[in-house]
A and B are shown apart, each in its own frame.
Chain A
Amino acid sequence: MKTRVFNRWVGIALAVGAFIFVLLLAGVGSAALTSLTP
């Protein structure tokens, strides 16, 4: 059971990372990131 939950979280973490990567490449959030540059 614990292994299953762990594997699910690993999968979610990878999927979220890939989703953020695609969003960034699509231009979503780029302005927010560049505005943080000193």
Chain B
Amino acid sequence: MRASEGTAPQRANGRLTLALAVGAAVALSLGIYGNVHDPTGRSLVTLFFTATIHLKVWFATAAIGFALFQLLTALRMYGRLGRRRGPKWVPRAHRVSGVAAFWLTIPVAYHCLWSLGFQLHSGVRIWMHGVAGCFFFGALTAKVLIVRSPHVPGWVLPIIGGAVFSALVVVWSTSALWFFRTNGVHF
């Protein structure tokens, strides 16, 4: 048996473990920050919206739109949608839409953590929103860390990508969708 045999899978497993550990640390850090930090209850920048909450729900909705686009382009890249792996622009569009979704979630998550905090005893919806929000950023971190990593088993990326997408769907459903249903559509 050669000394190099088994090195690549071991390295891949190490990289995967490290990525998951960093992701878990990010999720935990956000949860702890939201729990320990005293909520300010203040508003942030509104841009062209009438209130920060409207900015948040629309930014979150745009993010879920990009996430849906990510899901479709990922299916296309994996040959599950249409024939073969699709044209060359698909992987690029997938990555650009991912960055866009991430940037859109930054002000939303920041306002949630800084102004509202992690609320454990304010109802199931808010608890789920907080947990899924922290999980989303942890899973996203893990995905970004392993997405360019060679030798990682092929099933890893779809699983983590699916987890990121599912978490964002829960986050959006328990916030923006709830807001639209209870308060109507406003800008």
Which residues in A have some Cβ–Cβ distance to B below 8 Å? 6-7, 10, 13-14, 17, 20-21, 24-25, 30, 33-34, 36-38
Q: In chain A, what residue has the closest Cβ to B50?
A: A38
Task: Give chain B residues whose Cβ lies under 8 Å from the Cβ of A21.
Answer: 106, 109-110
- Tell me, rounded to whole Å, the shortest Cβ–Cβ distance linking B148 to chain A: 7
Interface pair B114/A24, CB less than 8 Å apart: yes
Mask, B36-63, CB within 8 Å of A = 1, is 0000001111100000100000000000
With A10-B95, A14-B99: A24-B144 Cβ-Cβ less than 8 Å: no
The 4 closest A-B pairs by CB, nearest first: A36-B45, A13-B99, A37-B43, A24-B110
Q: Is the contact region of chain A dominated by helix, strand, or loop, or is it mixed?
A: helix
B64 within 8 A of A: no
Q: With A and B bound together, what is the CA distance between A30 and B113 in angstroms?
A: 12
- Tell me, rounded to whole Å, the shortest Cβ–Cβ distance linking A14 to chain B: 6
Mask, B84-106, CB within 8 Å of A = 1, is 00000000100110010011001
Q: With A and B bound together, what is the CA distance between A11 and B110 in angstroms?
A: 21
With A21-B109, A24-B110: A34-B44 Cβ-Cβ less than 8 Å: yes
